[in-house]
Amino acid sequence: MAMGTELLIASTLAGLNIVLLGALTFVWARNYRTFRTNTILGLIAFGAVMAVENAVALYFFFTMQMFYGSDPTVQGAVAVLRALQFVALVFLTWVTVK
């Protein structure tokens, strides 16, 4: 079964989200070594958990397409949610790196 356009978009965005979360977590880990605050430790945990969530989503996109493939509305909703997460992570990465 071929992956639909929406799932391809969602998969690409999940991969980009993992890259952004990796960059954020790297910066936060570097800052934690300097400042040792619980807030930064919480950000590291946030980045790690969100990266795992996106990796699991990618796994499901590629191995269980039948769950998403039967309804175009579901595919569209999944793509929109990944896009919203991507936009949020772009802003967070921008303010963190700046």
SS (HEC) of the chain: CCCCHHHHHHHHHHHHHHHHHHHHHHHHHHHHHHHCCHHHHHHHHHHHHHHHHHHHHHHHHHHCHHHHHCCHHHHHHHHHHHHHHHHHHHHHHHHHHC
Q: What is the pTM of this model?
A: 0.92
| pLDDT tens per residue, range 39-64 | 999 999 999 999 999 999 999 888 88
% of the chain beyond a pLDDT of 70: 96
